[in-house]
Amino acid sequence: MATEVAPITTSAPPPAPQAAAPAEHSDVSDYRWWILLGLITAAIMEVLDTTIVNVALPQMAGNLGATFDEIGWVATGYILSNVVVLPMTAFFTATFGRKNYLTFSILLFAVASFLCGTSHTLIELVLWRIVQGAGGAALLSTAQATLRQVFPRDQQGMVQALFILGIIVAPTLGPTLGGWITDNYTWNWIFFINIPIAAISVFLVTTFLHDPPWMKRKPEGIDLLGISLLTVGLASLQYVLEEGKRYDWFQDRMIARLAVTSAVCLTTLVWWELTPRNSHPIVNFRVLKNRQLAASIFLFIALGFGLYGGIFIFPLFTQTILNFTPTETGLALLPGGLATALAALICGRLLNGARPLVDSRILISIGVAIFLVAMWQLGHLTTAAGEPDARTALLIRGLGLGFLFTPINNVAYGALDPRDAQQASGLINLARQLGGSFGIAVLNTYVTTQTQYHRVDLLANVYPYNPAVMQRMQALTASLAAHGYSALDAQRAGIGVLEQMVMRQASMLAFNDAWMIILISFVVASPAILLLRKPRGPAAAAEMH
C-alpha cells in the first residue's frame, strides 16, 4: 500500500511545504484497476460519440430537412457546452463529490444520448447535444484527475498510457463504425449505442470508486460572477472560432462583437479569479504557479492545434487533391492511429516505476522531432502522390503523437498534489480543446486564402505565348479532337481543363503551406520543454480505495 508523502515541487526557491492529501487506508487497493476500466469506458464513449456523429451528419441533414450549415450545429452545440463546463469540473467535484459528479455525468450523457436518438427536429437534437456536451466534460477531465488520485506516481506512466490508448483507439474506429451504422441502420443508433457502454461504466464507478475522507463536500459560496464570465467568454470565443470563416470573420458585426465580448470577459475572469476578494474562485488559476503544469498546458495547446487541425484538413486534402474515397482516407489514417497507440504504450512502460527508465523530457523531444519530420513530408507532397505516400507520413505522425501524449501527461501530473489534479485536468483538457478549435479555424481559413493566392500567382504565368502553356494546350486540344470535339470546342474545353489543373495545383500548394504552419506551431512551442524539470524525490502517494 502506498505511503503518504509530501507532494513534489520543482520550482526554485521551493515554496512552503503543502500537506499531502491523506491516503485512505483500505485493503481493496486492487479495485483501482476496475476503476481504471470504468473510467476508460466512459472516456471511450465520449470520444467515440464525437467521431461517429461527424460521419452521420449528411444523413441527419436529409432526415431532418436541415441545410449543411444548420446541421453543423449538432457538432458545434456539443463543443460549446463541453468547453464551458471543462474548467468548472473542479468546482462540481468539490461541491457534489467526485463519485457523485462522475456518476451523474455518465448518466446525463446516456440520457441525453437517448433523447438525441429520439429527436424528430433539428432544435431537439441540438438541445440534447448541448446537454450531452455538458455531461461529457467530466468523462475526460474528472476521469483523468481521478487516475492521478487513485494510482501512486510510480504507476502513472502505464496508467496514463492505458487511458490515452482508449481515447486514441476510439476516434480511429469511430468513422468506420459510424459509417457501418448509418449504412445498415439509421443515424439514431449512433446515439443509442452509448447506453450499454454507459451502463457498464456506471456499474464500475459506483461499485469500486469511493471518495476518501479528505474529499468531502465543501459548503462554500458560489462564484456567480466567475461562472457568468467563464460561460459568456468561452462560449463567445468558441462561436467565433466555429463560425468565423462562414461569416468572413471580423467583417461581420456579430463575429466582431463576440470576439470583443470574449476578450473582455476572459480578461476580467482571470483578474476576478486571482483577486483576494474572491475566496471561492470557480477556476483556481493559482495552480499555474506550478511550472511543470504551465509548460505542459502550453504544449497541449500546440498538440491540440496540430492534432485536431491535422485531422480536419487531411480528409479535405486527400479527397480533393489525391482523389481518395472516404474508405481510402480512413485506411490511410488507421496505421497512424495504431502507431500512436503503440508509442503510447512504449512510453508508459518506460515511465512506469519509482525510477523511470527514461526522462519524460527526452521522450517529449523525440516526439516533437518525429512529428516535425511527418509535417515536413506532408508539406512537400505533390499532386502525383498516392495513398502509400500519405500513409507513410501519417504513420510517422502517429508515432510522434504517441511520444507526446503520455510523457506530457506524466510531467503535468507528476509534481501536483492530488487535490490539485482535478483543477489541473480541467485546464489541460480545455487547453487541448481550444488548441484544436484554433487549429481548425486557422487552417480552414488559411487553406482558402492561400489557394486563391497561389491561383493568382500561377495564372500570372499562364499567357498565350508561354511555351509551356502552348505545349500543354496543343496536347489537350489534340486529345479532345481525337475524341470527336470540333476545333473550337476542343480549344474551349482545353482552357477549362487547364483552369482545373491550375486550381488543383494551387490547392496542393495551399495544403502544403497548412502542414508547414502546423510544423511552425510545434517549433514555437518546443522551448517549453526547457521549462520542464525531472521530478525529484520519492513518489507522491496516491489515495487508496
Domain borders along the chain are 30-221, 223-279, 453-508
Classify residue 62 by burial, with Cβ atoms within 10 Å: 0-12, 13-18, 19+: exposed
Contacts with 113 (C-beta within 8 Å, 6 or more apart), sequence order = 49, 132, 191, 192, 194, 195, 198
Architecture of domain 30-221: Up-down Bundle (1.20)
d(CA 149, CA 425): 12
Name the helix (H) or strand (E) containing 430: helix 421-459
In which band, very low, low, confident or very high, does the pLDDT at 353 lie, cut at 50, 70 and 90?
low
pLDDT given at position 478? 63
Q: Is 138 left (phi over 0), alpha (psi -120 to 50) or beta?
A: alpha
pLDDT level of residue 430 (50, 70, 90 thresholds): confident
**H or E element, residue 342:** helix 326-351
Give the pLDDT of residue 3: 37
**In the prediction, which pLDDT does 476 show?**
61
- Would you mind telling me the total number of residues written for the chain in this entry? 545
* Residues 6+ away with beta carbon under 8 Å from 420: 284, 287, 290
Q: Which residue has the higher pLDDT, 167 or 299?
A: 299
Q: Report percent pLDDT > 90 for the chain.
A: 8
Which cell is 340 given?
500512436
Question: Which pLDDT score is estimated for 539?
Answer: 41
The pTM for the full model equals: 0.75
Q: What confidence tier does 376 reach under pLDDT thresholds 50, 70, 90?
A: very high
pLDDT at 409: 80
Closest CA to 202 of 109, 103, 86, 114: 103
* CA–CA separation, 105 and 253 (whole Å): 37
Question: Tell me, what's the pLDDT at 275?
Answer: 85
More confident call, 74 vs 179:
74
Mean pLDDT of 183-201: 85
Mean pLDDT of the chain: 77
pLDDT at 545 > cutoff 60: no
Q: Is the pLDDT of residue 5 over 50?
A: no
More confident residue, 400 or 188: 400
pLDDT of residue 27: 37
